[in-house]
A and B are shown apart, each in its own frame.
Chain A
Amino acid sequence: MRFFFGEFLTTMNEINTSNKHRFLLTPQYLAGIVVLVASIIFALIMSRTEAILAPLWLLAMAAGFTLQRSRFCFASAFRDLFLFGSARTMKAILLGLAIATIGFAIIMHSKISGASAGFGYFPDEAHILPVGISTIIAGLLFGFGMVISGGCVSGSLYRMAEGYLGSWVVIGGVLIGIGLLNHTWNWWWNTIISNEPRIWLPAINGFGYSIGIFVTLLALFGIYLLVVWWESRAGMFMPVHSTEQEPAETFSEKIDSLWNTVFVNGWPVAVGGSVLAVIVILMYMVHMPWGVTGDLARLTSVIMTSLSISPPEALGLGDMGCFSGDGTSGLFSHTFTSTVGLLPGALIGALFAKEFKIRRPRKATRYIQSLGGGIIMGYGAGLGFGCTIGAFFSAIPSLSLSGWIFGLAIAGGSFIGVQAIKRIP
């Protein structure tokens, strides 16, 4: 059953993606409104526990919506470099990182001024993680796992909301991987991680913020040039889209066109990267940079406790605020809002665009890939204190060296992963 209001559509079969969805009250659209209203009510309920949870939840929803609308996929950003020589998404990530770097610097500066940088203090909540061999191993595992499974942690989370059953299997694998890491954590800590420094660029040799920011932006620009060269070498170019759009004249046509741009047609990926950067800046302003692995780690602990297979108490996590959680007990925590909020946001995006559909992988091998890749990725995310969001997209703007090493190692892992998937039918 379909209700139309506004203009009646007579040309449903015509191919005209720009105009066909106008004010169409389909079941998906109604469901989108229901999810939107329910999640806002949920935010209000959570704000009774702690006021800050509501804005964090809404920002995570916005992030999930942005990921869905721009089809932002960190896995494809790395993988397609090696699979097809395409840097489309990687360029958008670099743009987002540059924007977030400037925003983070302003926030960090308000927490620690330039004068005190370099005395062993780090700005609260910034993602400055231990850097060394563990970072490289973590990145290699993470990059390999995400290419095998078809999506990184954030990518699989928003695809869960879009109805991809394979992504549910990936996240299941990630939980298992984090559980395995938790059982081996103390070995990693005693052998490697306890000796690894947390290196914050402004604190090196009295660099201060200006040099830290300058070096970061310069490196981002350098990598941008590198991937553009890489693309030209592979003969990549953007096809010219000849989408014929009728010019919007009347007010209702202009509103339609605006609606379609935001809710129906996919966003250009560079817009997605920029909007995500603004969202992570806002999250840091509210409380902490974005991370999505934290709550999966917490969920893993809950599951392991209920199954009586809890790991021994983890050593050394006391001073790693961003990984050990915020110490709040109960279901509604900061990590809960910033991870789980992504799901309704992505679901709303998918429903309004009529892109929600339960999709089952047709081949049994895909389930094995999803699970296996997810386990490897989860282990890497646990070891690396985060995923492509927390330990990369929020770490480089924190002016942490770990973000760079993790990112490069992810690229290495993706390269190996690409060699593997070329051989999987």
Chain B
Amino acid sequence: MILDVRGEICPYPMMRAVEAMKKLKGKNESIQVITDHAPCLETIPMQASKLKWSVSIEEVGSPEWNITLNPPIE
């Protein structure tokens, strides 16, 4: 699932990411969040680890990041 939240600022990217993780619970599908809002790099991983998802961040532009969220292994 791709979640393009470019242009959105806090707290929306984080809220959308949390909603997506909750929606995909148990479906073993990863989420790719595309953002240009740097604070997300702190806030989304925090929320993801709370839901036991793993996170990797890739810088793909300046400034633009892909945050990949992988579901917990059952």
Report which A residues bind B (CB closer than 8 A): 15, 17, 20, 26, 28, 71, 73, 75-76, 79-80, 83-84, 86, 88, 150-151, 159, 164, 166, 235-239, 241, 266, 269, 353-357, 359-362, 366, 421
Most chain B CB inside 10 Å of its own CB: which residue of A20, A238, A266, A357 = A357
Q: Is A86 within 8 A of B41, CB to CB?
A: no
Given contacts A357-B63, A362-B8, contact A76 B39 (CB under 8 A): yes
Interface residues of B in 16-74 (CB under 8 A from A): 18, 36-39, 41-43, 45-50, 55-59, 62-64
Closest Cβ of chain B to A43, distance in Å, is: 28
Q: Can you name 25 A-B pairs with beta carbons within 8 Å?
A: A71-B39, A71-B42, A73-B10, A73-B39, A75-B10, A76-B11, A80-B43, A84-B11, A84-B14, A84-B18, A84-B47, A86-B46, A235-B50, A236-B50, A237-B50, A238-B46, A266-B42, A353-B63, A354-B63, A356-B63, A359-B36, A359-B37, A361-B8, A362-B8, A366-B8
In the bound complex, residues from chain A placing their C-beta under 8 Å from that of B41 are 266
Query: Is B1 engaged at the interface, CB distance under 8 Å to the other chain?
Result: no
Query: Is B9 engaged at the interface, CB distance under 8 Å to the other chain?
Result: yes
Known pairs A26-B62, A166-B9. 10 more at Cβ < 8 A?
A: A28-B62, A75-B10, A80-B11, A150-B9, A159-B9, A236-B46, A357-B36, A359-B6, A359-B37, A361-B8
In the bound complex, residues from chain A placing their C-beta under 8 Å from that of B43 are 76, 80, 86
Given contacts A239-B45, A239-B55, contact A150 B38 (CB under 8 A): no
Closest Cβ of chain A to B42, distance in Å, is: 7
Instruction: Please count how many residues in chain B sit with their CB below 8 Å of the partner chain's CB atoms.
Output: 30
In the bound complex, residues from chain A placing their C-beta under 8 Å from that of B18 are 84
In this complex, what residue of B is CB-closest to A28?
Answer: B62
In the bound complex, residues from chain A placing their C-beta under 8 Å from that of B58 are 15
Interface SS of chain B: helix, strand, loop or mixed? mixed
Contact of A266 among B38, B45, B46 (CB under 8 A): B38
How far is A86 from B50 in the complex, measured between Cα atoms in Å? Answer: 11
In this complex, what residue of B is CB-closest to A68?
Answer: B38
> 8 closest A-B pairs (Cβ-Cβ)?
A354-B62, A239-B49, A355-B63, A362-B7, A71-B39, A15-B58, A239-B45, A150-B9
How far is A353 from B41 in the complex, measured between Cα atoms in Å? Answer: 14
In the bound complex, residues from chain A placing their C-beta under 8 Å from that of B47 are 84
How far is A25 from B64 in the complex, measured between Cα atoms in Å? Answer: 19
How far is A360 from B8 in the complex, measured between Cα atoms in Å? Answer: 8
How far is A26 from B63 in the complex, measured between Cα atoms in Å? Answer: 13
How far is A362 from B7 in the complex, measured between Cα atoms in Å? Answer: 6
How far is A7 from B57 in the complex, measured between Cα atoms in Å? Answer: 24
In the bound complex, residues from chain B placing their C-beta under 8 Å from that of A355 are 38, 62-63
In this complex, what residue of A is CB-closest to B45?
Answer: A239
Q: Is A79 within 8 A of B46, CB to CB?
A: no
In the bound complex, residues from chain B placing their C-beta under 8 Å from that of A235 are 50
In this complex, what residue of B is CB-closest to A242?
Answer: B56
In this complex, what residue of A is CB-closest to B5?
Answer: A362
Closest Cβ of chain B to A258, distance in Å, is: 20
In the bound complex, residues from chain B placing their C-beta under 8 Å from that of A20 are 59
Closest Cβ of chain A to B40, distance in Å, is: 10
Closest Cβ of chain B to A392, distance in Å, is: 19
Q: Is A239 within 8 A of B48, CB to CB?
A: yes
In the bound complex, residues from chain B placing their C-beta under 8 Å from that of A75 are 10
How far is A76 from B15 in the complex, measured between Cα atoms in Å? Answer: 13
How far is A353 from B62 in the complex, measured between Cα atoms in Å? Answer: 9
Most chain A CB inside 10 Å of its own CB: which residue of B9, B15, B47, B56 = B9
Closest Cβ of chain B to A180, distance in Å, is: 25
In the bound complex, residues from chain B placing their C-beta under 8 Å from that of A359 are 6-7, 9, 36-37
Q: Is A360 within 8 A of B7, CB to CB?
A: yes
Contact of A150 among B10, B48, B56, B59 (CB under 8 A): B10
How far is A144 from B33 in the complex, measured between Cα atoms in Å? Answer: 28
In this complex, what residue of B is CB-closest to A370?
Answer: B9
Q: Is A79 within 8 A of B11, CB to CB?
A: yes
